[in-house]
């Protein structure tokens, strides 16, 4: 039998439609090289580009990236400022490219606390790419899952108080419509880099039946091969959803 090429295309039917990633390890990557922490974040942006390209190639429809958490505000002011600067620069440089490549930018989280210039650029990019449908790049910005769930509970409570929703009508589908991720399917695969075995307040409701893949590789070093390894691992899983 002829040997299969390593470059052979993956069976798209076995590819996760929605991948979420906890991009961890930028700081450790920089420290190990005696570099400033922001250098690690800058290298991490290059990894984002590699992963976006890989997702487009194999037919992933949604890529959700844990970009900035509600807890990240606790970091040194200089680091937070640098991270906001990186986001602003990315939006400036990549907006046109996202449009041309059919990538729709989306966001989950409370962006009202982001710097005004970042919010303006983000809003502009969201509008500019709104009609694209090849891949949705979903950035979790000022995102915390516990905050998301609490805000959803408050919204449900107001609906009930106003008589617009009956308590007995509340189910998983109804509740999900009050989350930041309204309209998005739950992730099929969650990837976490740097070897940490925790969810870090990320998509706690949405990943109930998501397949989880953890790699020791730090995010700046996460290669296309690492991404392909995660996909291959996912394809070996049998997703039973508790049915058997």
The residues that are catalytic are: 24, 72
Tokens (6 digits) for 205: 């409701």
State the Cα–Cα distance between residues 202 and 141, nearest whole angstrom. 11
Question: Two tokens at 24?
Answer: 């961890």
Convert 190-221 to b/e letters by CB count within 10 Å (16 or more is b): bbbbbeeeebebbbebbbeebbbbbbebbbbb
Which residues face 140 on adjacent strands?
66, 108
3-class SS of residue 11: coil
- With a CB cutoff of 8 Å and minimum separation 6, the contacts of 119 are 111, 112
Tokens of 38: 């922001």
DSSP H helices in 62-184: 77-100, 116-128, 145-161, 172-176
Q: How far is residue 49's CA from residue 22's CA, in Å, rounded to a whole number?
A: 15
Give the span between the Cα atoms of 162 and 74, in whole angstroms.
37
Q: What is the torsional sign of CA 79, 50, 184, 230?
A: negative
Q: Which among 148, 137, 143 has a CA at the least distance from the CA of 54?
A: 137
């Amino acid at each position: 039998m002829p040997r299969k090429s390593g470059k052979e295309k993956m069976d798209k039917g076995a590819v996760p439609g929605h991948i979420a990633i906890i991009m961890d390890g930028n700081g450790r990557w920089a420290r190990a090289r005696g570099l400033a922490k922001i250098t690690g974040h800058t290298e991490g942006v290059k990894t984002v580009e590699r992963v976006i390209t890989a997702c487009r190639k194999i037919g992933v429809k949604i890529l959700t990236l844990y970009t900035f958490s509600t807890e990240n505000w606790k970091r040194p002011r200089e680091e937070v400022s640098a991270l906001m600067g990186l986001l602003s620069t990315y939006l400036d440089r990549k907006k046109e490219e996202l449009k041309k490549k059919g990538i729709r930018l989306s966001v989950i989280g409370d962006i009202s606390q982001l710097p005004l210039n970042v919010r303006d650029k983000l809003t502009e990019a969201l509008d500019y790419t709104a009609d694209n449908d090849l891949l949705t790049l979903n950035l979790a910005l000022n995102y915390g899952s516990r905050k998301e769930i609490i805000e959803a509970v408050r919204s449900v409570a107001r609906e009930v108080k106003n008589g617009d929703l009956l308590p007995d009508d509340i189910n998983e589908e109804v509740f999900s419509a009050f989350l930041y991720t309204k309209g998005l399917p739950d992730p099929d695969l969650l990837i976490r880099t740097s070897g940490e075995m925790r969810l870090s307040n990320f998509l706690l409701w949405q990943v109930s039946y998501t397949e989880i893949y953890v790699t020791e590789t730090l995010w700046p070093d996460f290669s296309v091969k690492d991404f392909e390894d995660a996909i291959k691992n996912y394809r070996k899983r049998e997703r039973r959803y508790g049915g058997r």
